[in-house]
Amino acid sequence: MTMTTDLATFAAVFAALFAAHSVGDHWVQTHHQACAKGAPTAAGRLACLRHVATLTTTKAAALAVLILATGLTLHPAAFLAGLAVDALSHYWADRRITLARLADAIGKGDFYRMGAPRPGHDDAPHLGTGAYALDQSWHIGWLFIAALIISA
């Protein structure tokens, strides 16, 4: 395999993961999962686990389509390892308190809370807020790492 082929494989894998992430995180995720996944309860952990399971399935399907459409060959262990790393990082961030604590620890807490809901309103604090921007950038960074693993 040449360096050009390796770069093309990485680019294709990243593009597939990025597209599938957007679909899985916004279209496949249920309203219940989106609202409950951050709750500090067993039900919250289960909602987050279900979200990550459907999201990872969406990403695996996108990679399968990529393989079928292009004839790309990926090592099965790298495929599974990359998806596992991505799934674990996604679960960690989507429990919400973990990402909020990280934001506070590195001086991004004020940005994380920007646009947070107002008391007595039915706002969605994770959409169009600092929390949402940090959440999505966290996920995209890990997509990059997953693509490196999968295409290695």
113-142 pLDDT per residue, tens: 888 776 766 666 556 788 889 999 999 999
pTM of the predicted model as reported, rounded to 2 decimal places? 0.88
The residue with tokens 């399907």 is 61
Q: Could you tell me where the DSSP H helices lie in the chain?
A: 3-23, 31-36, 42-70, 76-94, 97-105, 109-113, 130-151
Domain residue extents for the chain: 3-151
Q: What is the mean pLDDT of the chain?
A: 92
Span 35-46, pLDDT tens digits: 999 999 999 999
